[in-house]
Amino acid sequence: MTEVAEVQVEAESGRAALGRALKFLREQSGLSLGQLAEKTRYDKSYLSRLESGKRLSKPAVMEDLDRFYKTGGLLIELWKVARREVFKDKYKEFMRLELTACIIHMFSPGIPGLLQTEDVARILLSGDQETASEADSVEEQVIARLGRQQVLHRDQAPSIRVIMDEYGLRRQVGDAKVWEAQLERLIEIAELPTVALQLLPFEAGAHHLMNGSFTLMWQADGSAVAYTEGNQCSELREEPADITRGRLSYDRARDLALPPPESAAFVRGVLKEFRA
């Protein structure tokens, strides 16, 4: 292999590699895009954009194509690599660690990404988009965010604790139908055996995590990271002293929050008020 070819392979994006694999599998199967569209019931132009690397699919699409081509999960793995490229470098590393974490402790002033419905995620990620290219970028971010939620249901799912500010329940996102579905989603997730959801009520007053969202993650080998995210900035920290300070702040917020059973009842009460 020439040095130029090696550079090209190294520089190829995960999305381009996935597209190339999809095109190869289709051609090996002797199918045109039109024929593949008929067999899979996906739009021909949509399949073309996947193959050209111009679009990132939802995970369910890759699961369908994986079964169709009988690739034994290869397309899913390529998709996981491609989706990480949607995010900035620090968030990419955060996502990589999230995939393998065995314990995740999270604080969020609003609805955290892991618990958002697709509609809420799309609204929150849309911001002030103005162009078609920005709209495509938002759609890819939505897909990537929904893909992250697989961590909730995977085999040997991590132990997840989410402390959420009451603010997140009181600030409606979208119309009534969208918001009702989001509140229902919170209740569903709170019932998962690996998830503990705690609400931090307004009456708890000020606390140490008010500047933005905060996540602590531990790997099976005992290593840990702290990830903070605020307005247009983020920071991933691995120093033991930073982890210790973050853990203390999290524990103080946890002491102020309602226990999981009372938190679930709180969300049900907010949903009942909303429906009324």
93 burial level (CB within 10 Å; 0-12, 13-18, 19+): middle
C-alpha 147/C-alpha 220 separation (Å) is 22
Residue-number span of the structural domain to which 154 is assigned: 89-275
C-alpha 272/C-alpha 263 separation (Å) is 14
The mean of the pLDDT values for the chain is: 87
Q: What is the pLDDT of residues 88-113, one digit of tens each?
A: 556 778 888 898 999 999 999 999 99
CATH of the domain at 27: 1.10.260.40
Looking at the structure, tell me whether residues 156 and 54 fall in a common domain: no
Looking at the structure, tell me whether residues 237 and 130 fall in a common domain: yes
Looking at the structure, tell me whether residues 98 and 209 fall in a common domain: yes
Residue 173 has what pLDDT?
95
Pick from 67, 84, 101: which residue ends a domain? 84
Residue 44 has what pLDDT?
92
**Mean pLDDT computed over 179-189:** 97
Looking at the structure, tell me whether residues 105 and 65 fall in a common domain: no
Looking at the structure, tell me whether residues 61 and 123 fall in a common domain: no
Looking at the structure, tell me whether residues 65 and 80 fall in a common domain: yes
**Mean pLDDT computed over 210-222:** 91
Residue 88 has what pLDDT?
54
Looking at the structure, tell me whether residues 66 and 95 fall in a common domain: no
Looking at the structure, tell me whether residues 77 and 201 fall in a common domain: no
Looking at the structure, tell me whether residues 55 and 181 fall in a common domain: no
Pick from 60, 84, 108: which residue ends a domain? 84
Residue 232 has what pLDDT?
59
**Mean pLDDT computed over 132-143:** 77
Looking at the structure, tell me whether residues 96 and 70 fall in a common domain: no
Residue 20 has what pLDDT?
92
Number of domains composing the chain: 2
pTM for the predicted model, two decimal places: 0.70
In sequence order, the β-bridge partners of residue 233 are 230
Looking at the structure, tell me whether residues 115 and 234 fall in a common domain: yes
Looking at the structure, tell me whether residues 97 and 189 fall in a common domain: yes
